[in-house]
């Protein structure tokens, strides 16, 4: 049996207990070590919040270590956890997933079948969607995780590969692109990454109507990816291209309409405003059409479709400026 450890960065959300319950119940060889990395940013987070999640581990509680990473983001939290283990493989899980009933068995098989040049083995992510109606925009976005490559919701890396590349790039402060960046660096170092057999369930967590607007912060991470891996990183990472170009164009026409109106060029301003409205309308309908089309969903899509293009544009240019001198990770030798 190939020994492995499990590292879970957490904000101690309600989902953590379900995550640990599923891990404890999974059949097969158990992890030699479990590291929970508490990444809550509070100076003195409530320790009692972990009492119930830890209690569900049963006998695995004795193998579990709790660390704090101070709210520096999931990349830094995973690095803290990986440095604390001694097993030759580290399986990373998110705190909002539930491993399958035979996950430990299947992971052991995945690792046993990994050749000496295999640096990572990816799990299969399943996202349950409602069967009685069309999924919302947020639910469809979460469902995209099932097709994502190298997603750290369930991703095992060889400890030697992690050490060689310096682990996760801690400049990725959100749970976005840090997995693709690590995978590209592992591949560049000469390792292979293969698809495993194990399955992990990733439920859609509840979210408010502005979640898609906050998600635009990820455009700054895309700017960092561009700086580190070049403009063709989308193809190498097999990541969807997204609508950034459309957002830039919509924002530009909106700004042009305002500027032309201020300078008294009414006809040109009207033409630019028409272009902005057409682009915004197309974006809104592309999100409304496949959804449930309830009053709440349509209202949310209309409001956020107006705000997302300028928000995406702002975060993109902010990221380009902020990461203009970003050097390859690690910036110092690991």
* pLDDT on residue 49: 87
* pLDDT on residue 47: 75
* pLDDT on residue 331: 63
* pLDDT on residue 333: 43
pLDDT tens digits, residue range 290-322?
999 999 999 999 999 999 999 999 999 999 999
Q: What is the mean pLDDT of residues 251-278?
A: 96
**pLDDT over 90 at 184, yes or no:** yes
Read off the pTM: 0.93
- At 280, is the pLDDT very low, low, confident or very high (cuts 50, 70, 90)? very high
- At 43, is the pLDDT very low, low, confident or very high (cuts 50, 70, 90)? confident
pLDDT tens digits, residue range 188-237?
999 999 999 999 999 999 999 999 999 999 999 999 999 999 999 999 99
Query: Does a cis peptide bond (omega within 30 degrees of 0) precede residue 330?
Result: yes
* pLDDT on residue 334: 42
- At 45, is the pLDDT very low, low, confident or very high (cuts 50, 70, 90)? confident
**pLDDT over 80 at 332, yes or no:** no
**pLDDT over 90 at 241, yes or no:** no
Q: Is 289 exposed, middle or buried (0-12, 13-18, 19+ CB in 10 A)?
A: exposed
Distance of CA 251 to the CA centre of its chain: 26
- The number of residues in the chain equals 334
pLDDT tens digits, residue range 144-169?
999 999 999 999 999 999 999 999 99
| β-bridge mates for residue 302, sequence order | none
* pLDDT on residue 46: 79
């Amino acid at each position: 049996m190939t020994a492995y450890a499990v590292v879970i960065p957490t904000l101690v959300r309600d989902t953590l207990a379900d995550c640990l319950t599923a891990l404890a119940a999974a059949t097969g060889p158990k992890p030699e070590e479990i590291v929970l990395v508490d990444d809550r940013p509070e100076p003195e987070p409530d320790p009692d919040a972990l009492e119930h999640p830890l209690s569900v581990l049963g006998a695995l509680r004795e193998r579990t270590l709790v660390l704090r990473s101070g709210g520096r983001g999931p990349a830094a939290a995973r690095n803290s956890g990986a440095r604390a283990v001694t097993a030759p493989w580290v399986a990373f899980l998110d705190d909002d997933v539930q491993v399958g009933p035979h996950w430990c068995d299947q992971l052991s098989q995945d690792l046993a079948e990994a050749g000496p040049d295999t640096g990572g083995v990816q799990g299969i992510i399943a996202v349950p969607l409602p069967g009685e109606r069309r999924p919302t925009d947020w639910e469809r976005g979460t469902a995209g995780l099932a097709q994502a490559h190298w997603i750290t919701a369930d991703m095992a890396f060889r400890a030697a590969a992690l050490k060689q590349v310096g682990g996760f790039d801690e400049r990725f402060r959100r749970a976005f692109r840090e997995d693709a960046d690590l995978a590209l660096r592992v591949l560049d170092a000469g390792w292979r990454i293969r698809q495993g057999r194990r399955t992990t369930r990733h439920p859609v967590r509840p979210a408010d109507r502005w979640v898609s607007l906050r998600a635009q912060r990820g455009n700054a991470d895309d700017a960092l990816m561009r700086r580190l891996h070049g403009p063709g990183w989308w193809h190498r990472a097999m990541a969807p291209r997204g609508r950034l170009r459309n957002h830039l164009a919509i924002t530009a026409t909106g700004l042009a309409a305002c500027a032309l109106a201020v300078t008294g060029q009414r006809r040109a301003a009207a033409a630019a405003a028409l272009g902005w409205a057409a682009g915004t309308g197309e974006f809104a309908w592309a999100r409304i059409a496949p959804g449930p089309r309830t009053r709440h969903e349509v209202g949310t899509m209309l409001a956020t479709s107006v705000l997302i293009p300028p928000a995406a544009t702002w975060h993109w240019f902010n990221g380009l400026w902020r990461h203009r001198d970003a050097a390859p990770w690690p910036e110092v030798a690991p």
